[in-house]
Amino acid sequence: MDRYVYALVRCVPNPRTGEFINMAAIAGRPEAGDWSLRQVSNESRVRKLAGAEELQAVHGFLTRVGMEIDKQQVLFEEESGELLGEAWLQQLYHDHRNVVQLSAPAPIVADNAEQALDVVFNRQIIDPVSQPRDFITKRSVLAEVRNAYRRAEIDNELIHLRVEVYAGEYVHAPVDFAIVNGTTVQLTQGWSFQRGGVDEVSTQVKAWGYALRLLRDGEDARVVGSDERLTTVSRDVDIQVVVASPRTREQGAVFEEAQQVFTELGVSVHELDDVDAVGTQAASLLRGSSSHP
């Protein structure tokens, strides 16, 4: 477990009386780029205390914070820009003293931001219909892949994020990582089979698999990065998949279906405790490509 920090977000309809109700919480681990925000799912208790204007103020604040956290994830994955630090949460605490207020940031020990929020909600926020969210997100899977490349000492310039693989004239699909050294030597995709809307994952895997199957079948294919630069990719390119394994029967059924796609494509599938194999393979492929110009 690691050290996280958190703060409660409070609605204070009348700051003079100091009466408040906890509406949300923010938790994060700055050095890991792992931040999350969670709001109560049932506002009936809040509406008994606060009016429309007060609720609108809190909702606006939560929207702005959520957008900052979303931007933070992009910066972390691209290893660019300044990451949100603990000082950011402290600043929010100091700057909001009116209808919207935060509790003083405090440390908490957890495996990830969602788990930290589970603890905070269980202990400090009344939300009868909320459900525990102790699951591994795709965001966490991608962070582990990124760390595996770092441990394998892959040059950042060779790691391309969120590329599109085009096969044939019209079919294309997003791929999380492409390792490119003149040509594409490895494609890597992360999936979490622990999310609630696992049916959406099933649809995404099938669409992804269809495009890569055309690639394997020898259709003219190319990789397009976020900078719109084209690189070639061969039908026998190394394809890696990293997964957060399912925990429920429903998730397991979707995972079994996905495994059929992975088998047909001849991809290597790794659980998170084996993620370093992806970086090791990429390093080996890069050594081979550099020795054969």
Do residues 142 and 77 make contact, with C-beta atoms less than 8 angstroms apart?
yes
Q: Given 124, 153, 187, which residue is the final one in a domain?
A: 124
* Residue 83: inside a domain: yes
Angle 73-180-163 from CA coordinates, rounded to 5°: 45
Residues 50 and 157 in one domain: no
| Largest interatomic CA distance in the chain | 74
Can you give the pLDDT at residue 128? 53
Residues 219 and 112 in one domain: no
Q: CA 145 → CA 154, 262, 273, 277, 291, distances in Å?
A: 12, 18, 11, 10, 25
Q: Given 90, 124, 158, which residue is the final one in a domain?
A: 124
How many Cβ atoms sit within 10 Å of the Cβ of residue 186? 26
Residues 59 and 146 in one domain: no
Q: Given 124, 148, 176, which residue is the final one in a domain?
A: 124
Instruction: Write the pLDDT tens digit of every residue in 183-224.
Output: 999 999 999 998 766 678 888 999 999 999 999 999 999 999
pTM above 0.95, yes or no: no
Residues 176 and 82 in one domain: no
Instruction: Write the pLDDT tens digit of every residue in 233-275.
Output: 999 999 999 999 998 888 999 999 999 999 999 999 999 999 9
* Residue 49: inside a domain: yes
H or E stretch covering 37:
strand 34-39
* Residue 130: inside a domain: no
Residue 28 phi/psi, 5-degree rounding, is: -170, 165
Residues 18 and 93 in one domain: yes
User: Could you tell me whether strands 238-244 and 183-192 are parallel, antiparallel, or unpaired per DSSP bridges?
Assistant: parallel
As a whole number of angstroms, the distance between CA 54 and CA 62 comes to 13
CATH of the domain at 178: 3.40.50
Residues 195 and 244 in one domain: yes
Residues 151 and 282 in one domain: yes
Domains contained in the chain, number: 2
* Residue 102: inside a domain: yes
Can you give the pLDDT at residue 290? 64
Residues 150 and 275 in one domain: yes
Q: CA 292 → CA 181, 182, 185, distances in Å?
A: 11, 11, 13
Do residues 257 and 193 make contact, with C-beta atoms less than 8 angstroms apart?
no
Can you give the pLDDT at residue 292? 46
Residues 269 and 156 in one domain: yes
Instruction: Report CA 202 to chain centroid distance, whole Å.
Output: 17
Can you give the pLDDT at residue 6? 96
Instruction: Report CA 26 to chain centroid distance, whole Å.
Output: 16
Can you give the pLDDT at residue 136? 82
User: Residue 241: beta bridge partners?
Assistant: 189, 269
Residues 58 and 143 in one domain: no
* Residue 133: inside a domain: no
Residue 40 phi/psi, 5-degree rounding, is: -60, 140
Is 17 exposed, middle or buried, given 0-12, 13-18 or 19+ CB atoms closer than 10 A? exposed
* Residue 203: inside a domain: yes
Do residues 178 and 221 make contact, with C-beta atoms less than 8 angstroms apart?
no
- What residue numbers bound the domain in which 6 lies? 2-124
Give residue 222's identity as a one-letter amino acid code. Answer: R
Residues 277 and 171 in one domain: yes
Residues 175 and 207 in one domain: yes
pLDDT tens track, the chain, 293 positions: 889 999 999 999 887 777 888 999 999 987 777 899 999 887 877 888 888 888 999 999 999 999 898 887 776 666 666 778 899 999 999 999 899 999 999 999 998 888 999 899 888 887 755 545 567 888 889 989 999 999 999 999 999 998 999 998 889 999 999 999 989 999 999 999 987 666 788 889 999 999 999 999 999 999 998 777 888 899 999 999 999 999 888 899 999 999 999 999 999 999 999 999 999 999 999 998 765 44
